Chains A and B, each alone.
Chain A
Amino acid sequence: MGAARYNRQIILKGFGEEAQQKLLRAKVLVIGAGGLGCPALQYLAAAGIGHIGIIDDDAISLSNLHRQILFTTADIGKLKVEVAAKRLQEMNPQIGIIRHPIRLQKNNTLDILSRYDYILDGTDNFESRYLISDACALLNKPLIFAAVSGFEGQLAIFNVPDQLTPGTNYRDLFPVPPGKDEVPNCSENGIIGVLPGILGTMAAAETIKLIAKVGLPLTNRILNYNLLTQEQYTISITHGKGYVIPKTVDEFLNMDYQDTSEGPQGYIEIDAAELVKLQQSESTILIDVRERHEVPVLDKQIFTQVPMSEFGAFIGKEFYQKNVVLICQHGVRSVAAAEAMQEKYGDSKKIYSLKGGIIKWRDHFLKS
């Protein structure tokens, strides 16, 4: 069945018909159809993984296209899951593609992940990564983890034992997630398209090796990849101690994964319409927390510039305005700034963060 399609890998010494059958029987879930997910999906589909699930609730935007290579310019505005599924099905009609156009949250994660044998994490934020890692550890599912930052990437396989060590998980490396202002993300820091292409492809390779039982998958190891030097540095992972990880479904459901939608917070996330309303008030200060080199440049008469790198010195200063609206490029740093201000000023000021940042409300900022 479809032997001709997979002929080149079936005739490969050390792979063969048996390995191909294992791929065909496997169910793999790819979380995030982005820079990592797109190349991973392409190779998993082409290789003949029998069932591939895709989770993503996002729509395609122009700035995705330099790295999310399943999508074309004509796809802008469409759901990633729909476009990816259609494209992959055209590439390989012999496999099943399952669409999950949703955002993973505590209450749907265990249900969806339990339907698959292998989970590939190609998400872009720590909330999702800890949620997925904990769920996979609880369900004892092999997790293929890929992540990028700047010109570097990390790749690992969790929850798969080897001869020496029972399966390790992400919390064995990093017991708790970093704060929002600690680690810059791709949309704030930039990313070169080919890097997630390489890491996503390597994640697909590890998935295929794990399923087909060929070679030495990165179980209990983390590979650090550097695009600028083409160097790799692999570190063995052992079990850590004393960290909190949910061991039952109830414990999992009681964890705090800092979903911005459900977390307790003293500040308010607003849209551009609310920003306009607040702007009318004389008791409102608008603060742009981006660094000075960032574009677009906003009118400094209207937006006070306090870059995050100088925020510590600013905070604690006296100012008369009651309402503080924090703005950055994508609404991530402004949340960190809002948390810091909330802590400092408490209820004496009303703190707001522009959700989605300048990029989301570009039209509003370009006309003002």
Chain B
Amino acid sequence: MEIEIISFGQITEFINNQKIEVDGITDTDAFSKYIENRFPALKNLKYKLALNKNIVQHNTEITNQATIAIMPPFSGG
């Protein structure tokens, strides 16, 4: 299954926008686990996922060619 990852802010420093080929990741909880394992720096940051441009508020099914955005909070002004 192909998933497109889009990241923002300081998360772009270690996760580039990219398409990944993964097997066995069928929901957003599994995706979080996968991405935190692959990029451990993410574990220490606050971030929110968006699946196909919708904020993920509970575990949600991921289908082939989904886009997942990883968004950190910004406070600067």
Contacts and interface: CB of A to CB of B under 8 A. Distances in A.
Interface of A: 32, 34-37, 122-126, 129, 146-150, 152-154, 172-174, 176-178, 182-186, 189, 191, 196, 222, 224, 226, 233-241
Contact of B75 (A147, A226, A241): A147
Contacts of B10: 149-150, 183-184
A182 B75 CA distance: 12
Nearest to B72: A183
Given A150-B10, A222-B71, A238-B55, 6 more contacts: A123-B77, A148-B76, A148-B77, A152-B9, A235-B69, A238-B57
A233 B9 CA distance: 13
B74 to A, nearest CB: 4
A174 B55 CA distance: 11
A126 B73 CA distance: 9
A186 B8 contact: no
B46 A124 contact: no
A309 to B, nearest CB: 11
B7 to A, nearest CB: 10
Given A224-B71, A235-B50, A235-B69, A147 B55 contact: no
B54 A182 contact: no
A236 B54 contact: yes
A124 B73 contact: no
A182 B55 contact: no
B55 A224 contact: no
Q: Which of B8, B53, B73: most chain A Cβ within 10 A?
A: B73
Interface residues of B, number: 22
A182 B45 contact: yes
A129 B57 contact: no
A150 to B, nearest CB: 6
B38 interface: no
A222 B71 CA distance: 10
A368 to B, nearest CB: 31
Q: Which of B53, B55, B57, B75: most chain A Cβ within 10 A?
A: B75
Interface of B: 6, 8-10, 44-46, 48, 50, 53-55, 57-58, 69, 71-77
A191 B71 CA distance: 19
B53 A236 contact: yes
A134 B42 CA distance: 26
A297 B50 CA distance: 42
A235 B71 contact: yes
B28 to A, nearest CB: 14
A183 B77 contact: no
A108 to B, nearest CB: 20
Contact of A173 (B9, B48, B53, B76): B48
Given A152-B9, A173-B48, A174-B48, A238 B54 contact: yes
Contact of B77 (A37, A182, A239, A241): A37
B74 A235 contact: no
Nearest to B54: A236
22 contacts: A35-B77, A37-B77, A123-B75, A123-B77, A126-B75, A129-B75, A149-B9, A149-B10, A149-B74, A172-B57, A173-B48, A174-B46, A174-B73, A178-B72, A182-B45, A184-B10, A185-B76, A186-B76, A233-B8, A236-B53, A237-B55, A241-B58
Nearest to A237: B55
A41 B44 CA distance: 36
Given A233-B69, A241-B58, A224 B8 contact: yes
A12 to B, nearest CB: 30
A333 B53 CA distance: 33
Given A178-B45, A182-B45, A173 B55 contact: yes
A16 B53 CA distance: 34
Nearest to A239: B57
A152 B54 contact: no
A202 to B, nearest CB: 13
A191 B76 contact: yes
